[in-house]
Amino acid sequence: MIDVGGTAGGVRLRPPRHRVARKAVLWWGCQAVSGVAVLLLALGGAAWWLPAVRQWLVIALIVCGVLGIGYVAVMPWLRYRVHRWETTDSAVYTAAGWLSREWRVAPMSRIQTVDTARGPLQRALGLSSVTVTTASAAGPLHIDGLERDVAAELAERLTRITQATPGDAT
């Protein structure tokens, strides 16, 4: 492990410990189904209205349909296996991405805001997302697919810790 800053109180780089809620698989699956459905409807509509290229559009529709089924079946489970999060008194750790993986560490002294969000499908499933905005060019950290109560407790804890942490978050 690497001790950032070289002090005993530095941020320790290590994989995050907590998984997101298992219901996140259903949430990601529903998002995937809606995306694939829009693509297939667009191709089907184009095939209907453009008879000159209908044959190619039907082939594209079939190929996209087969690939879309695989995407819907596999992607949510891969995301669930990879997405992790953890907070300590000194940092927020996240690991995300199913195709392109990202691992981020944000020291508490760099946190500027903590937000929670719940879309309609997330509300129906009892899930929330937490966004931790930092003084970083890489942008905010996103922790998606948390149980609603866990997200609320996390946002409260992060707010409490960052208020007590010295520094100007820049």
- pLDDT tens-digit map of 65-117: 999 999 999 999 999 999 999 999 889 999 998 788 899 999 998 899 999 99
Please identify which residue in the block is written with the tokens 């990601």: 28
Output the pLDDT for position 2: 40
Output the pLDDT for position 153: 97
In terms of Cβ atoms closer than 10 Å to its own Cβ (0-12, 13-18, 19+), residue 54 is middle
Distance CA 133, CA 111 (A): 6
Q: Assess contact for 143 and 24: CB atoms under 8 A.
A: no
| Encoded tokens for 62 | 């079939």
**How many other C-beta atoms can be found within 10 angstroms of the C-beta atom of residue 43?**
19
Output the pLDDT for position 63: 98
**How many other C-beta atoms can be found within 10 angstroms of the C-beta atom of residue 52?**
7
Output the pLDDT for position 98: 77
